[in-house]
Amino acid sequence: MDRFSSEDLKALMNTADGVCVSIYMPTEKVGDEKKQEPIRLKNLLKKAEEMQPASDIRPVELRRLLLPAHDLLDDALFWQYQDQGLALFLSSSGMQSFRLPIQFEEQVVVADHFQIKPLLPLFTANGYFFILLLGLGKVRLLQCSRYSMGEIDLKGMPAGIDQFLGLHEPNTEYSHRTQVSPTSFRGSTPQVFHGFGAESNYRKPEILQYFHSVNDRLWEVLHDERAPLVLAGDDHLLPIYREANTYPHVTDVSIMKNPKGLSNDELHDLAWDIVQPQFLKAQEDAEMKYQLLASKRSSLASNDLNDIVLAAYSGRVDTLFVALGVHKWGWFDPESLQIEILDEPAAGTEDLLDIAAARTYLNRGSVYAMKPWQLPGECCASAIYRY
């Protein structure tokens, strides 16, 4: 699985690079269906070329822009390592590809910006979460969705407390590493902890110093995230890590077991049991709030797309419910604040639902990308306004 962060999402949102092609398709990790994936991509690229009249790019330029994706068709190694869905983004600056834990529906969009709506389930209810596997040996970070899990490469993370203390002098206020024997102390025994599989013992100040280093590296990766982080580790280590932690979205409940004794599937299931109520409650509360406001005909609830796009652009949307797999093509002029909705895409048109979703997310609103029949408000979009 490729790492896809909110920073990646924002970079796609802010791309203004002429014609942008967004391609989404389902993939398989294993199985006979994998043989069909290059064929599926080839068909989608053909479809992209057929959409040229809906953009102002010349056919030869569009074919040149799609060349990096054509190169993937014969790349056996690329197709060997897939997740549940593949997203490709092509512009004059090149191509970005992401193998992600979402079973995308096939989709091609040629516009003057990238289509980001299919990615939003990664950042909303039933979206993604992290598991931090803690120990005095190697620390691991997993990014998970409801049905998948992949490891994030923590470059620069110490391989364990042995390596960390070998490279860093303990802080002067910390006790030095101590070998403990039954006769080392009289009357009381200092609090010491065993590394997994290690013969040495470590006192709490040394472990805390090590966990501060782990937290610093983790913060470099997660500083712009809002997804839950579940801690997994021995019960005597987790309280020490919480002292060092600065990531604000660590769950109150942890997996209080040595991660080395659990399979990936067991870890995922235990973590999902912790985060699922949090995901579902947030969405259910938002839906109930919308229904209540709408029943009172409050000005804080709307399912009028024109009004929602304007409110999203100005930062007034607190919560947006938007339909997956649905497009509302048109023009939006941010200077005149004029909107026109069309039945079919034309040159220069944009997906107004995508604009609303992107602007809401950029303005730190909550976006719930849902199947059309799941939406409150009986429309392709509905919103709760901040004011």
* All structural domains of the chain with their residue ranges: 1-126, 129-278, 299-387
Share of the chain above pLDDT 70, in %: 87
Average pLDDT, the chain: 85
Would you tell me how many other CB atoms lie within 10 Å of the CB of residue 287?
Answer: 21
pLDDT of 181 reads 33
CB 301 within 8 Å of CB 385: yes
Please give the distance of CA 99 from its chain centroid, rounded to a whole number: 12
Distance, in Å, from the CA atom of 137 to the CA atom of 103, rounded to the nearest integer, reads 35
Give 371 or 66, the one with higher predicted confidence: 66
Average pLDDT of the segment spanning 152-169: 81
Distance, in Å, from the CA atom of 327 to the CA atom of 167, rounded to the nearest integer, reads 55
Would you say the CATH fold of 299-387 matches that of 1-126?
A: no
Average pLDDT of the segment spanning 252-270: 90
CB 108 within 8 Å of CB 76: no
Distance, in Å, from the CA atom of 44 to the CA atom of 208, rounded to the nearest integer, reads 52
Instruction: Provide φ and ψ at 300, rounded to 5°.
Output: -85, 0
Distance, in Å, from the CA atom of 385 to the CA atom of 365, rounded to the nearest integer, reads 10
Average pLDDT of the segment spanning 153-173: 74
Share of the chain above pLDDT 90, in %: 50
Distance, in Å, from the CA atom of 170 to the CA atom of 167, rounded to the nearest integer, reads 10
Average pLDDT of the segment spanning 139-144: 90
Distance, in Å, from the CA atom of 258 to the CA atom of 76, rounded to the nearest integer, reads 38
Q: Kindly indicate the confidence band of residue 208, based on its pLDDT and cuts at 50, 70 and 90.
A: very high
pLDDT of 185 reads 32
Q: What is the CATH number of domain 299-387?
A: 3.30.1330.30
Beta partners for residue 87, in sequence order: 24, 98
Cα of first residue to Cα of last residue in the chain, in angstroms, is 39
Distance, in Å, from the CA atom of 223 to the CA atom of 248, rounded to the nearest integer, reads 9
Give 44 or 15, the one with higher predicted confidence: 44
**Does the structure show a pLDDT above 90 at 3?**
no
Side by side, which strands form the sheet with 350-351?
A: 338-341, 329-333, 350-351
Q: What is the CATH number of domain 1-126?
A: 3.30.960.10
Distance, in Å, from the CA atom of 55 to the CA atom of 345, rounded to the nearest integer, reads 9
Query: pTM, whole model, 2 decimals?
Result: 0.66
